[in-house]
Each structure stands twice: as C-alpha cells, then as structure tokens.
Amino acid sequence: MYDLKITGGTVVDGTGADRFRADIGVKDGRIVEVRRRTGDDAGLEGSENPAVETLDATGRIVAPGFVDIHTHYDGQVSWDPLLEPSSLHGVTTVVGGNCGVGFAPVRPGREQWLIELMEGVEDIPGTALAEGITWQWESFPEYLDAIEKRPLAIDFGTQIAHGAVRGYAMGDRGARNEEATEDDIAAMAGIVQEAIEAGALGFSTSRTEGHRAVDGEPVPGTYAAERELFGLGRAMAAGGRAVFEVAPQGAAGESPAEASMRELDWMTKLAAEIGRPVSFAMVQAEGVPDLWKEQLDRAGKALENGVEVYAQFAARPFGMLFGFPGYHAFTHRPTFRKLKEELSRDELAQRLADPAVRAAILSEDDLPPQPLPLFDAMFALIQHSADRIFVIGDPPDYEPTSEQTVAAIAERRGEDPLATMYDLMLESDASALLMLPFYNYVAGNHDAIYEMMTHPAAVSGLSDGGAHCGLICDASYPTFLLTHWARDRHRGPKFSLEYVVRKQTLDTATLFGLSDRGVLAVGKKADLNIIDMDALTLDLPRMAYDLPAGGRRLIQGAKGYDATVVSGAVTRRHGFDTGARPGRLIRGVR
C-alpha cells in the first residue's frame, strides 16, 4: 500500500524534459513509482493500488518541490516551523547562511553583536531576533544540533558565515576587519572545516560595501586578503562537498567594473584549486549596465574548462517596496512623525486621509536624516525618484512601462509628483505599496533577466527569503517564475514551463549536492507541488506585524497551489498549513 498517491496529473519532472501524464506513488517519504498514462490507461487509480491518501491532480501540473538556495532564515528557523513566506510558494527546501552573516559560532555575550550584524545587512528587526532566538549553542555543530530538534514544515540547510567565524576567532579585531594573521586564518580554517564535517552545505562571505551592520561597519570579511579567502576555501573543501558563496565587491554597483572583474579572477582560481563550486551574486546595476554580461562570460568560460563558477541571478527587478506601512517619502515630515508616535496603525491610516493632514505633510520641510540607523535617508531617495517609481497593480506587474510611473501619472493628473505619490499610497486604507527597482531594470524591461536565465553559468537565487523585511518580499520568486516567465509575460519572450521548473529544482539542488531531490523520479525524496496553472496568481504584497516583539515584515502569498508535499506528507492544502511537520535539517550533501 502506498502512503500517498497522486493521480491524473501532468508531470513536469524537473529535468527540463517534456511534460507527461502520470500517476505517482509514495512510500516512506520516497517516490516508489511514476506510472505514465496514455489513452484510457487507469494508472494507479483503482482498488488494486490502494493508498492511505490519494490526491486527484486531474487538470493540474505536478512538479518537484522548489529548492531556494539563497535565504536568511538562520534566526527565524529557531522560532517559526513554517519558514514563511518561502513555504507559501511551493518551496520545500531552503538554504540559509548566505552573504557572510549567520548566528554561529558565537561566544557567550556576543549574541547581540551577531543580531545587529544581521539586522544591518538583511533588514531583519533586531528586536524580533532578540526575542525570537533561543540561544542554545556556541559552536556551529551545536547550532545544527539545536535546529535539528525543531519541528519544521520544510527542509532547512545552511552555510557557515564568514562574519560569525571572524568575530568568533578574532574578536573585535575580526569585527573591525583588521587583517588576519596566519594564526587567525588557521583558527578560522579549523572552525570552517568542523562546520562542513558537521553538515554545513557551504561557506559564505560578503565583500560588498553595501552590506553593513546597524552601526555602519562593513561585514567582517569585506576586505579579507586572498590568503584568508583561500585558507578558508581549502578548509571548506577539506571538510567535504560544499559551496563557496560570495556577495562580491561591486555586487551592488558600488565599485568600478574592473574591481568586480578582479573578483572573478580569484573566485575562478579558488574554484579550480579546491575543486568545489563558487557561487556569486549578480545583478544589473545602472552605473555598469553591461557588467553582468562580462561576469557571465567569464563564468561560462570557467565552466567550459571544468571549473564550477556560477552566478546567482534574481528573477525580477531587485529594489524596494514602499508605502505608509514602511519606508516612504514623508517619514521625516514633522506632522507624519507626530501622528505616527501618537496613533495606532489604524488610526494613523484614517488621519492620513484627512485633507488637512495631507496638506500639512505635503507643505512641510523634512527633518534632517541621521547617520544611524541605516536607511534613515531613504525618504530623500524616494522623493527624487518619481520617474522610476511604479504602481504595482493587482495582480502585481513587475515589468511595468514608463506610463505606470508616479511621474507619468502625476503629469496626466496635472499634479505635483509627491502629491500623486501620497494619494497612491493612501489607497487600500493607506496600505498600498509602490515599487522602486534598483537593479535588473536599467532598460525598463526584463530583457537582461531573460538573457541571464538562458546562460548555463547562471543559477536562480537571491530571493533573500526571511530578509529585507521592510523593503522587499522576493521569497515569492518561485511563483513569479511560473506565472511571469512561463505564462504571462507580454513584453518579450517567455520560457517553457519545463525550463522554468528545472531552474528552481534540479539546477538549484544540484549546485548544493542535494541529489536526493529536485526531480520526480523513483527513489527521489517525495517533495512535490500540485499546481493549478490557470489559477496561479501572486497576491499583492502587504505589511504584517507577526514577527516576535511585533516586528514587521512584508508578506506575499499566492493562489493556485492545490497541495505541497514534503517527504510524502501534505504540508499545505490550497495555501493553508496542515500542521504536518516532516521538514528536517539537511546535514551535508545527499
């Protein structure tokens, strides 16, 4: 008897091969049968193929569970079994520990320093981390042991982060980015090798000056010398099969193109020496709009020579969402400041709609920004970006035209752009959000992203699930890939559904050595989605206040997932949590 069978569905198996009609049988968390159906073939239907539970997938797509390799659930995993918002979008495996920030190892008394590092780099409320994390570890293996005890709806794997390692081994010298001595490198190498041997999936480092702690200090490791990077890379390889992940210098367009290409030099040399994949973040930046082509060309040539260097791309424009619930153009107007301090969120929304309040806010000068906290001057950037800020629409449109900018709408209305911006944010009871793309939208379309997605050295990543809570919600990438890139795009070419599914299943799983998942085949882990492609739709992003200590985060759900299955257990039905907790900590390659 099967534990679960899925009948009548159209299988997109993750390999990129053409879809086919088939039934799937599951036993003990594994796929034990994939029976193709033709004509009137009854497949696994009927009493001769009994199952504890049967899911009718007639008229639906059956695809592998999605594997998201770039998330930041390192703290959230210690309090949230669902790991939302990723699990809302068919994701069954996440990999954390990216960008050189994490929570282990940690010396007793240094926990707050790691919280502030994560808060600054990834915009996760420090109060939520402080209240939510129950520190039960010092070493990285002890961190894995603590997470392994947690009930989870999906699988969680992680990498050991350079920032935490430097802080642990070098103390304040490491935190201040002082140069590491040979003894320092040896100490850090021992920590990294121990972590990989315990089950870490990789090592991550950040070298972009765009990543800073809440006090403005760059992430430890930002200026690490090659001998430090190579020493830690060799230690990672000595520990086992793992990935060396990099947020490189220039990743945010903050450095000259020459500096970014020098990063490719050492990354390629490292990958060749240690025989392990190196993966780096890549976006299109306005100041160097064609740099990504050079980066992909270099990575592609390395691959041709058997050296694994992969660029992680973002599936849509990378930027920020803003409105009255989060960052916006009027945060430093005295009237807004006063009302926010005095009123509840609902009361504030009502008062913002008062014509007198509107007039006062629009007429006022801004209070001066402060050096800290980070992003305190965001309001000024927003005020001067009306020609690059877009109305999202419902359903959300992430490839809008120039006619959808705030500036264009204001011109049609005969208004000042800031007045138009205010009114657009007032919609939906002052919860409406506008979109300002920073990256991947230089030409005002997705043509650059399309080219990235076709390149053999490019891997889907950068969703940042669990992070940038007040700025973005790109954990919805998996659904966006299906809806936009395989179905709805009208301003340029699309991809087949088979291709899009492979990009976030087999390809991402393979990079991290997770050969037990990513494909619907006999013997593989029974992680899968049943999807109504006709109904699949992204919800509008919204601000929620459900983190520990009432912390805020942007959430974006979806409609059209009939069921998500992890290790043979149905974890979601029509988007709702079933209470099943089959998720596990992933220790090492599979």
Q: What is the pLDDT of residues 286-341, one digit of tens each?
A: 999 999 999 999 999 999 999 999 999 999 999 999 999 999 999 999 999 999 99
Residue 152 lies in a domain: yes
pLDDT class for 373, splitting at 50, 70, 90?
Answer: confident
* Pick from 153, 214, 129: nearest CA to 548: 129
| CATH code where residue 483 lies | 3.20.20.140
Residue 56 lies in a domain: no
Q: 498: which 2 tokens?
A: 């088979």
Q: What is the pLDDT of residue 374?
A: 75
Per-residue b/e over 114-153, b at no fewer than 16 CB within 10 Å?
bbbbbbbbbbbbbebbbebbeeebebbbebbebbeebebb
Residues 404 and 274 both lie in one domain? no
Q: What is the pLDDT of residues 483-541, one digit of tens each?
A: 999 999 999 999 999 999 999 999 999 999 999 999 999 999 999 999 999 999 999 99
Q: 39: which 2 tokens?
A: 């004509």
Residues 287 and 189 both lie in one domain? yes
| Range list of β-strands (E), 386-527 | 390-391, 434-439, 458-460
Residue 4 lies in a domain: no
Residues 306 and 190 both lie in one domain? yes
Q: Tokens 């492609």 map to which residue? A: 533
375 pLDDT higher than 90 = no
* Pick from 22, 21, 63: nearest CA to 502: 63
Q: 285: which 2 tokens?
A: 């930046």
Which parts of 206-256 fold into alpha helices (H)?
226-239
Q: What is the pLDDT of residues 531-584, one digit of tens each?
A: 999 999 999 999 999 999 999 999 999 999 999 999 999 999 999 999 999 999
Domain boundary among 437, 468, 491: 437
Which parts of 439-476 fold into alpha helices (H)?
447-454
181 pLDDT higher than 90 = yes
Question: Residue 73 region, left (φ>0) first, then alpha (ψ -120 to 50), else beta?
Answer: alpha
Residues 244 and 157 both lie in one domain? yes
148 pLDDT higher than 90 = yes
253 pLDDT higher than 90 = no
Distance CA 525, CA 213 (A): 39
Q: Distance from first CA to last CA of the chain, Å, rounded?
A: 27
Q: What is the pLDDT of residue 444?
A: 97
Residue 484 lies in a domain: yes
> Average pLDDT of the chain?
96
Distance CA 71, CA 286 (A): 25
CB 561 within 8 A of CB 531: yes
Q: What is the pLDDT of residue 251?
A: 87
Residue 83 lies in a domain: yes
Q: What is the pLDDT of residues 255-290, one digit of tens each?
A: 889 999 999 999 999 999 999 999 999 999 999 999
From the number of C-beta atoms within 10 Å of its C-beta (0-12, 13-18, 19+), residue 321 rates as buried
Residue 47 lies in a domain: no
Distance CA 82, CA 580 (A): 10
Q: What is the pLDDT of residues 455-479, one digit of tens each?
A: 999 999 999 999 999 999 999 999 9
Residues 401 and 362 both lie in one domain? yes
Residues 304 and 371 both lie in one domain? no
* Pick from 449, 463, 567: nearest CA to 516: 567
Q: 294: which 2 tokens?
A: 């050079």
Residue 541 lies in a domain: no
pLDDT class for 40, splitting at 50, 70, 90?
Answer: confident
Q: What is the pLDDT of residues 437-461, one digit of tens each?
A: 999 999 999 999 999 999 999 999 9
Residues 346 and 399 both lie in one domain? yes
Q: 308: which 2 tokens?
A: 């694994």
- The answer to pTM > 0.95 is yes
What is the enclosing helix (H) or strand (E) of 158?
A: strand 155-158
Distance CA 309, CA 296 (A): 9
Domain boundary among 412, 437, 462: 437
Residues 397 and 425 both lie in one domain? yes
Q: Tokens 């998996």 map to which residue? A: 478
For residue 377, give the 3-state DSSP assignment. coil
Domain boundary among 494, 517, 540: 517
What is the tally of structural domains in the chain? Answer: 2
Task: State the virtual CA torsion across 513, 515, 517, 520 in degrees, nearest 10.
Answer: 140
39 pLDDT higher than 90 = no
Distance CA 194, CA 363 (A): 59
Q: 287: which 2 tokens?
A: 């100041």
Residues 99 and 158 both lie in one domain? yes
Containing structural domain, residue 360: 320-437
Distance CA 316, CA 339 (A): 35
User: Which amino acid is located at 431 in the chain?
Assistant: S
Residues 293 and 304 both lie in one domain? yes
Half-sphere exposure of 32 (CA within 13 A, CB side): 14
Question: For strand 542-544 and strand 553-555, is the pairing parallel, antiparallel, or unpaired?
Answer: antiparallel
Q: pLDDT over 90 for what percent of the chain?
A: 94
Q: What is the pLDDT of residue 254?
A: 87
Residues 230 and 368 both lie in one domain? no
Q: What is the pLDDT of residues 44-70, one digit of tens each?
A: 988 788 999 999 999 999 999 999 999
Q: Got the DSSP string for 533-552?
A: TTT-EEPPPEEE--SGGG--
pLDDT class for 252, splitting at 50, 70, 90?
Answer: confident
Beta-bridged to residue 10, according to DSSP, are 21, 61
Cα separations in angstroms, 27 against 11, 50, 259: 18, 12, 52
Residue 524 lies in a domain: no
Residues 215 and 91 both lie in one domain? yes
